Amino acid sequence: MPASLFDCPAPAKLNLFLHVTGRRADGYHLLQTVFQLVDRSDALDFTVRDDGIVRRTNDIPGVPADTDLVVRAARLLQAAAGKPELGADIAVRKQLPMGGGLGGGSSDAATTLMALNHLWQTGLTRAQLMALGLQLGADVPFFVFGGNAFAQGVGEDLLPLKTADCWFVVIEPGVSVPTAIIFSSQELTRDTKLVKITDFPEAHNLLYGDFGKNDLEVVAAKQFPPVAEAIKWLKTFGNARMTGSGACVFCAFEHEHQADEVLKQMPSKWIAWKAKAMQEHPLAHLTKS
Ligand SMILES: C[C@](O)(CO)[C@H](O)COP(=O)(O)OP(=O)(O)OC[C@H]1O[C@@H](n2ccc(N)nc2=O)[C@H](O)[C@@H]1O
Ligand SMILES: Nc1ncnc2c1ncn2[C@@H]1O[C@H](COP(=O)(O)OP(=O)(O)OP(=O)(O)O)[C@@H](O)[C@H]1O
């Protein structure tokens, strides 16, 4: 059995649009969204143990190890495989902000499921890992899915989608937005008209045209003024939007030099960076379909 995997990426996602189309009896919201992978990531190291202990080896301020989605993902896989003797030491190097709408915690969990399924040789299929992931969060199945997607349901019903190659500028407005607060807002509209995947055949239009919107944006922008300010600033350069439930906002550009130009003008109060669109999750090859 291979003993370790180092520097496993857990990439960020952007929601190119995000429509809230209804609400389930359990309070979860029905969505339609396009998930786009980008090449900015957390990084995780895994070393197998044979004593059943799952341990996070580093401190993450604000996230106790036992509640970390990474540790919970490993324990879920251990139980699903019926192999209590399998364990792991896991190091998590965060680069993605928490409560940023970039899916950082969800991506860490998905990377853990894929890496440990490989290292432990537990042999779960992609569909089985996605089902486990859904127990951890609505965004986890997408990261296990392995490529860009049109998502429906609460985000678990996924269709592959080829998106356009481009560069994104992403602004971190400096606030952490709790997803549950945005979804529970009285001001959230929950009746956006359903779209079909054939309504946006030109991936290009999703980036530079005016197709779709993020229904969570007005709510987050109102409750978190720095989000509104970042959107307003970035809109002067193109079709800027918020991702997920915020706080991060992004804008797409065809060429890297355009992204560099925007970053040069960025007010110093914000952390901002560029990232390239990716078509495939870098660990997709670890899992059998
Ligand atoms: C906003 C998105 O990031 C879009 O990709 C996701 O829908 C959120 O996914 P996530 O962060 O994995 O969220 P979860 O940890 O599953 O849910 C956090 C909380 O958000 C609310 N929630 C989340 C997803 C959803 N479809 N409807 C909801 O109402 C629920 O109150 C839930 O308790
Ligand atoms: N490994 C982890 N990394 C980050 N956050 C984690 C992790 N494990 C648990 N969490 C918890 O999850 C919360 C949300 O973090 P995350 O980075 O996933 O937010 P997000 O980018 O807004 O997610 P989404 O786009 O899915 O709404 C954090 O505030 C933290 O309490």
244 lines ligand 1 (CB under 6 A): yes
1 annotated as belonging to a binding site for a ligand: no
In the annotation, is 13 catalytic?
yes
Residue 68 CA to ligand 2 centre (angstroms): 9
Nearest-CA neighbor of 90 among 126, 106, 66? 66
Q: Is the CB of 188 under 6 A from ligand 1?
A: no
Ligand 1, pocket-test mutation among 179, 214, 217, most atoms within 8 A of CB: 179
**ipTM exceeds 0.90, yes or no:** yes
* Cα 26 from chain centroid (whole Å): 23
The residue contributing the CA closest to ligand 2 atom 27 is: 101
To the query of whether residue 139 is one of the catalytic residues in this protein, the response is: yes
Reported as half-sphere exposure (CB side, CA atoms, 13 A), residue 165 has a value of: 3
Cβ-based neighbours of 286, under 8 Å, separated by 6 or more: 114, 115, 117, 118
- Catalytic-role residue among 13, 42, 45, 68: 13
Phi, psi values for residue 251, rounded to 5°: -145, 140
Q: Is 260 helix (H, G, I), strand (E, B) or coil?
A: helix
Model pTM?
0.97
Question: Could you say which DSSP state residue 277 is in?
Answer: E
Closest ligand to C-alpha of residue 227 is 2
Hey, what amino acid is at 90?
I
3-class secondary structure, 33 = strand
Nearest CA to ligand 1 atom 7: 138
Q: Is 107 labelled as part of a ligand binding site?
A: yes
> Which structural domains are found in the chain, ordered by start?
4-161 (3.30.230.10), 167-278 (3.30.70.890)
Tokens of 228: 């509104």
What are the phi and psi torsion angles at 104 (to 5°)? -55, -55
Q: Provide DSSP, 244-271.
A: TTSS-EEEEESSHHHHHHHHHT--TTSE
Which is catalytic among the residues 68, 139, 215, 274? 139
Provide the β-strand partners of residue 150.
34, 159
As a whole number of angstroms, the distance between CA 128 and CA 63 comes to 27
Protein residue closest via CA to atom 19 of ligand 2? 99
| Ligand sitting nearest the alpha carbon of 185 | 1
Q: Are 116 and 74 in contact (CB under 8 A)?
A: yes
Tens-level pLDDT at each residue, the chain (289 residues): 569 999 999 999 999 999 999 999 999 999 999 999 999 999 999 999 999 999 999 999 999 999 999 999 999 999 999 999 999 999 999 999 999 999 999 999 999 999 999 999 999 999 999 999 999 999 999 999 999 999 999 999 999 999 999 999 999 999 999 999 999 999 999 999 999 998 887 777 789 988 999 999 999 999 999 999 999 999 999 999 999 999 999 999 999 999 999 999 999 999 999 999 999 999 999 998 8
The whole-angstrom separation of Cα 215 and Cα 190 is 8
Ligand minimally distant from the alpha carbon of residue 107: 2
180 ligand 1 Cβ < 6 A: yes
H/E stretch holding 148 = none
CA distances from 64 to 71, 104, 139, 162, 179 (A): 10, 16, 21, 37, 19
| Protein residue closest via CA to atom 1 of ligand 1 | 244
Reading the block at residue 90, the tokens are 């896991």
Q: What is the residue type of 126?
A: R
DSSP 8-state symbol, 67: G
